[in-house]
Amino acid sequence: MKLSIAADHAGFSLKQQLIDYLSRRGYTLTDFGTHSEESMDYPDVAHPLASSVENGEAELGILICGSANGVAMTANKHQGIRAAICWQVNIAALARQHNNANVLCLPARFISTEEAIQITDTFLNTAFEGGRHQKRVEKMHC
């Protein structure tokens, strides 16, 4: 599976750990940055990642910042993106099952690496249920 991943300075360390974890499991990753803990503006990485998912270069995306709010708000400006902030495994499962989320947003300042790995695994391995949820997802687009 092809994934895109990006983080701001607050999420840099967690991003690097997830890249290592996911690479060892056979995922193909495109890293949109950032590449250090130096302060930067999260839209500079969130927009390119969202575009990569929107245009099919990646199947799913992972965005990380301190609270996950900034990257989620930015990514969700893209018509084909359904970015979900997930801080628990069950929220990640529901984001995929019911909302067909295609970008996972992780709050680096509020979850451990172990929790991030469990949430990411759940997000990547949970399928959209379709059915009654399909019409709701179709109504999301403006």
Task: Give tens-digit pLDDT for 91-118.
Answer: 999 999 999 999 999 999 999 999 999 9
Which CATH number, 3.30.565.10, 3.40.1400.10, 3.40.980.10, 3.40.190.10, labels domain 2-138? 3.40.1400.10
List helix spans (H) across 7-88.
12-24, 43-54, 69-75
Largest CA distance in the chain: 45
Q: Which of 29, 47, 36 is nearest to 11 (CA)?
A: 36
pTM recorded for the entire structure: 0.97
**Structure confidence at residue 115 (pLDDT):** 98
Residue where the block lists tokens 């469990």: 118
Residue 115, classed as helix, strand or coil, is: helix
Q: For residues 112 and 107, what is the distance between their CA atoms, to the nearest angstrom? A: 10
Active site residues: 65, 98
Instruction: Give the residue extent of every domain in the chain.
Output: 2-138
